[in-house]
Amino acid sequence: MSYKQFPSQKKSQGAKTKQWKMDCIDGAETLAIYRDEGIRKSFRNKRINYDLYSNILDEDDVKKIVDPLGLNNTYTPAKMQNYPIINPKVDLLCGEETKRRFDWRLRTINDDAISSKEDDLLKQLSAIISEEMQNEAINEEDLAKKLADFEKYRNYTYQDVKEESGTWILKHLWEEQSLKMKFDRGFKDALLAGEEIYQWDIVNSQPVCIKHNPLNVHTVRSGESSRIEDAEIIVIDSYYPPGKVIDEYNEYLTPTEIDEIEKRANNGMGLGNSDTPDAMMDRRDMLDNSVDTAIFETGLQDYNSPFDSNGNVRVVKVYWKTMRKMLKVKYYDAEGDEQYELMPETYKIDETKGEEAKVLWINEWMEGHKIASGYTASDGIYVKMQVRPIQFRRMENPSKCYPGIVGTIYNTNDNVAVSFYDRMKPYQYMYNALMYNVELTLATNWGKIMKLDTSLIPDGWEVDKWISYAKFLKIAPIDPFKEGQKGAGLGKLSGNLQSSNSSPVIDMEQGNTIQLYISMMEHIKQEVGEIVGVSKAREGSISPSSTSGNVQREVIQSSHITEYYFSEHADLKKRVLITGLETAKLAWANSGTRKLQFVTNDMATKLISIDTEDIQSIDFDIHISNSRDDQELLENMKQLAHAGIQNDKINFTQLMDIYNSDSLSAIRRKIEKAEQEKGERDQKAQEQAQVMQAEQLKAVAEEKEKERAHDIDIETLKADNAITLEQIKAQFKNIDKGVDLDHDGVKDEVEIEKAKINNQANSIEEEKKRKHEAEQNEKDRLNKIELERLKAKKAKI
Whole-number pLDDT of residue 270: 44
| Residue 774, C-beta contacts closer than 8 angstroms, at least 6 positions apart | 701, 705
Question: 278-313: b or e for each residue (b if 16 or more CB lie within 10 Å)?
Answer: eebbeebeeeeeebeeeebeebbeebbbbbbeebbb
Q: Does an H or E element contain 382, and which?
A: strand 381-387
pLDDT at 277: 39
Q: What tens digit of pLDDT does each residue of 479-524 get?
A: 766 644 544 444 454 444 444 445 666 677 788 888 999 999 999 9
**Relative orientation angle of helices 161-176 and 179-193, to the nearest 10 degrees:** 70
Predicted local distance difference test score (pLDDT) of residue 283: 35
| Ranges of the chain whose pLDDT falls below 70 | 1-3, 71-78, 108-161, 268-304, 375-378, 395, 480-506, 541-551, 592, 598-604, 611-619, 625-644, 649-650, 654-655, 657-674, 721, 724-753, 756, 792-797
pLDDT, residue 8, reads 92
What pLDDT is recorded for position 321? 94
Helix (H, G, I), strand (E, B) or coil at 218: strand
Q: Which residues contact 747 (CB under 8 A, 6 or more apart)?
A: 737, 738, 739, 740
d(CA 127, CA 131): 6
User: What pLDDT score does 296 carry?
Assistant: 36
d(CA 75, CA 659): 58
Closest CA to 327 of 306, 355, 358, 305: 358
Element (H, E) at 443: helix 420-443
Yes or no: say if 6 and 28 are a contact pair by the CB < 8 Å rule: yes
Q: What share of the chain is helix, strand, coil (3-state, %, to 5)?
A: 55, 15, 30
Query: In angstroms, rounded to a whole number, what is the distance separating the alpha carbons of residues 236 and 576?
Result: 18
Please, are residues 198 and 182 in contact by the beta-carbon 8 Å criterion? Answer: yes
pLDDT value of position 523: 92
pLDDT in tens, 74-98: 555 567 889 999 999 999 999 999 9
Cα–Cα distance for residue pair 148/666, rounded to 1 Å: 18
Q: What global pTM score does this model have?
A: 0.69
- Contacts of 117-124 spanning 24+ positions with Cβ under 8 A: 117/158, 117/160, 120/160, 121/154, 121/158, 124/150
pLDDT at 297: 36
User: Quick check: 238 and 213 in contact, CB under 8 A?
Assistant: yes
> How far apart (Å, rounded) are the C-alpha atoms in residues 351 and 330?
10
